[in-house]
Amino acid sequence: MREANKAPDRRAIFRTEGLTKVYQLGEIAVQALQGIDLVIAESEILVLLGPSGSGKSTLLNILGGLDRPTAGRVFFKEHDLTRASDRELTQFRRASVGFIFQFYNLVPSLTARENVALVTEIARDPMRPEEALDMVGLTPRLDHFPAQLSGGEQQRVAIARAIAKRPEVLLCDEPTGALDSKTGSLVLEAIAKVNEDLKTTTAIITHNAVIAEMADRVISFGDGRIVGEQRNPRRRAASELTW
């Protein structure tokens, strides 16, 4: 048991200042993010809650170096990601970030093992793909292609792929969005275990309030802004969650 706001010694991993993102669609400008100020601390689990279209994915993508803000700044530790070159962003993603997407985004022509190897082959100090898949309980499915796996299994491959490089941060965009409750909690368990074992800073997007109970901190989004912040006095184990 720990309390995030009583841990001032913990280092900030991400820090954003007035982060703004505008999508220009012809005549119309979509304000996806409108001045986000946020600090994410080392090894915490952060849940981002909010209705669809409120800008959660946009924020996560910018944090992970997949996209650039229109205005404002993002720091990863001391590095200003807003000023980083494409090459530096690539390096950042390669070395430090693990992504999990709602639709798994596995490469369909590669087996589970190869999908993980795709990432470990370019990482500095990775686990073996088998080891990562073992962590998510997929050892019997090593040589299956995505099409031969269920949705939950595919998502667990995606988790194995994200953690195999031992990333400093794990960014999960609705990791259970496409899964039933039982499979979903299996996936969340795997994420929590990684956070426990590897001390990986973890951000999880969801619009499922139940999931928020496994977080150290919950940020609520609305209309591109942070509309609420709440610290859980106590994290619940993922296995206890049902919805």
Partner 1 sequence: MKALDAKLFRDLWRIRLQALAIALVIGCGVAVVIMSFGAMRSLSETRDAYYDRYRFADVFAKLKRAPLTLVDDISALPGVARAEPRIVHYVTLDIPGLDRPAVGELVSLAEEGKAALNAILLKEGRYPRPGHGEVIVSENLAEAHGWHPGAAFQGILNGRKRTLVVSGIAQSPEFVYILDPGQLVPDNKTFGILWMPREELEATFDLDGAFNQISVTLMRGASEPDVIERMDNLLAPYGGTGAYGRDEQLSHAFLDQELQQLRTIATLIPPIFLGVASFLINIILSRLVETEREQIGLLKAFGYGAGEVGWHYLKFALVIVIGGLAIGAAVGLWMGVQMTTLYQQYFRFPFLYYRIDPFVLLASFAVSLAAGMLGTIGAVRAATRLSPAVAMAPAPPATYRRSLFEFIGVAQWIPAQTQMIIRHIERWPLRALTTSLGVALSGGLLVMTFYFFDAIDELIDSYYFRSNRQDATVDFLEPLDPRAVGEVGRMPGVRLAEPLREVPVRLHFEHREKLVRIYGILPNTTLKRFIDVDGKSFDVPPEGIVLGDHLSRTLGAQVGNTIRTDILEGRRGVGEVRVAAIVRENVGLSAYMEADALNRLIGEGPAVTGAQIMIDPTQTSAFYGTLKETPATGMVMLREPAIASFRDTLAKNMLVVISFYVVFGVTITFGVVYNAARIMLSERARELASLRVLGFTRGDVAYILLGELALLVAVALLPACALGYLLSWVMSHAMDTDLFRIPLVVRPSTYATGVVILILSAAASALAVAWRVNRLDLIAVLKTRD
Ligand X SMILES: Nc1ncnc2c1ncn2[C@@H]1O[C@H](COP(=O)(O)OP(=O)(O)O)[C@@H](O)[C@H]1O
Q: Does the footprint of Mg ion cover residue 57 (CB under 5 A)?
A: yes
Q: For residues 111 and 148, what is the distance between their CA atoms, to the nearest angstrom?
A: 9
Contacting ligand X (CB under 6 A), which of 19, 46, 56, 127? 56
Amino acid letter for position 99: F
Contacting partner 1 (CB under 8 A), which of 10, 73, 94, 144? 94
Contacts of 116 (CB under 8 A, 6+ apart): 129, 132, 133, 157, 160, 161, 164
Strands 12-25 and 79-80, sheet pairing: unpaired
Only one of the segments 62-70, 133-141, 179-187, 230-238 lies at the binding site for partner 1 (rule: CB under 8 A); that segment is 62-70
**Partner whose binding site includes residue 107, from partner 1, ligand X, Mg ion, none (CB under 5 to 8 Å by kind):** partner 1
- The binding track of 15-44 with respect to partner 1, each residue x by CB under 8 A or -, is ------------------------------
Burial letters 7-45, b for 16+ CB under 10 A, else e: eeeeeebbbbeebbbeeeeeeeeeebbbebebebbbbbb
> How many CA atoms, within 13 angstroms, populate the side-chain half-sphere of residue 223?
1
Binding stretches for ligand X (CB under 6 A): 23, 25, 30, 32, 50, 52-58
Binding stretches for partner 1 (CB under 8 A): 57, 61, 64, 66-68, 86-87, 90-95, 97, 99, 101, 103, 105, 107-110, 114-115, 117-119, 121-123, 146-147, 151, 161
